[in-house]
């Protein structure tokens, strides 16, 4: 992403993008640009839709209730699609927002709540999860907005895992694993399709750990000698994965 436009506000729009197009923004976006940022017609913003890269646009109308832009030119190509599935046992609201935003910033491309024995959250607000991915993408110049998949139970996840011929490896952050650095072990997964699973605040149950570790596609890792909070573990695990075998290389 060229940093030339780093100061411009970035907005996600779920529509096609092409030079010369005039686009009406939704009420929330109009309010944000007009009333919060107090942008005037002529100001520039960056639009992206998760498919066609980033586009420079010029505000043609900005009032309390509505705003319109004219698309000027493409400023960044859509990057090659990455592929990193991220599963987590949902946490309570604010930390859940944080977890989903950080997974987006760290390059997860599919995000899925996984319900485990010790998961403390009952009803998930999927719209809120999706809104968090868009907000994180807008703030962090992410152009591929992750898909938020419907929640799944751990046993259904295992049954449905695409593991034909080791097609996709599920990296399990296992707090019960012998404390060690995951860096060497992760090196074995270079070139593989990957998923990462983070457990709940209460950890995985012993039955769940036994079930997971019995799967040929599960790859347990330790995240060092300390027990990290689930949201910390998520960022730590995504960082080591991206730096060793992911898109940070
Ligand atoms: N309350 C649990 C306990 O006392 O064992 C700790 C669970 S931990 C807060 C939540 C999740 O973060 C774990 O299920 C695991 O996925 C991950 N995690 C935390 N620390 C870890 C570590 N040192 N190694 C591997 N995974 C870890």
Instruction: Out of 233, 238, 240, give the residue to mutate to test ligand 1, the one with the largest number of ligand atoms within 8 Å of its CB.
Output: 233
Question: 56 CB under 6 A from ligand 1?
Answer: no
Determine the structural domain holding residue 134 and report its residue range. Answer: 84-244
Kindly give the distance from the C-alpha atom of residue 208 to the centroid of ligand 1, in angstroms, as a whole number: 13
Position in ligand 1 atom list of the atom nearest CA 224: 23
Is 54 domain-assigned?
yes
Q: Report the pLDDT value the prediction gives residue 112, as an integer from 0 to 100.
A: 97
Question: 174 CB under 6 A from ligand 1?
Answer: yes
Residue 8: CATH number of its domain: 2.40.240.20
Which residues contact residue 227 at a Cβ distance below 8 angstroms, ignoring those fewer than 6 apart? Answer: 175
Is 249 domain-assigned?
no
Q: What pTM was estimated for this model as a whole?
A: 0.92
| Distance, CA of 133 to CA of 196 (rounded, Å) | 17
Closest by alpha carbon to 146, among 187, 192, 88, 186? 88
For the stretch 181-212, pLDDT in tens is 999 899 999 999 999 999 999 999 999 999 99
Question: 246 CB under 6 A from ligand 1?
Answer: no
Q: Report the pLDDT value the prediction gives residue 4, as an integer from 0 to 100.
A: 66
For the stretch 95-104, pLDDT in tens is 899 999 999 9
The number of distinct structural domains making up the chain is: 2
């Amino acid at each position: 992403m060229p940093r030339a436009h780093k100061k411009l506000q970035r907005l996600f729009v779920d529509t096609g993008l092409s030079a010369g197009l005039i686009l009406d923004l939704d009420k929330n976006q109009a309010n944000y640009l007009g009333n919060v940022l107090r942008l005037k017609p002529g100001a520039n913003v960056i639009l992206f839709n998760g498919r066609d890269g980033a586009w420079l646009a010029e505000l043609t109308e900005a009032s309390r209730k509505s705003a319109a832009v004219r698309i000027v030119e493409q400023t960044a190509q859509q990057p090659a699609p990455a592929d990193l599935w991220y599963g987590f046992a949902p946490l309570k609201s604010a930390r859940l927002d944080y977890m989903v935003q950080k997974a987006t910033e760290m390059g997860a491309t599919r995000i899925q709540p996984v319900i485990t024995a010790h998961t403390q959250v009952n009803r998930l607000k999927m719209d809120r999860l999706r809104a968090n991915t868009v907000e994180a993408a807008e703030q962090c110049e992410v152009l591929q907005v992750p898909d938020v998949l419907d929640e799944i139970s751990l046993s259904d996840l295992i049954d449905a895992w695409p593991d034909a011929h080791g097609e996709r490896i599920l990296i399990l952050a296992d707090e019960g694993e012998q404390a060690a650095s995951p860096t060497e072990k992760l090196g074995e997964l270079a070139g593989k399709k990957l998923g990462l699973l983070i457990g709940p605040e209460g950890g995985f149950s012993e039955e769940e750990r036994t079930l997971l570790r019995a799967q040929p596609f599960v790859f347990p890792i330790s995240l060092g000698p300390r027990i990290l909070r689930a949201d910390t573990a998520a960022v730590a695990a995504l960082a080591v994965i991206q730096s060793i075998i992911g898109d940070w290389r």
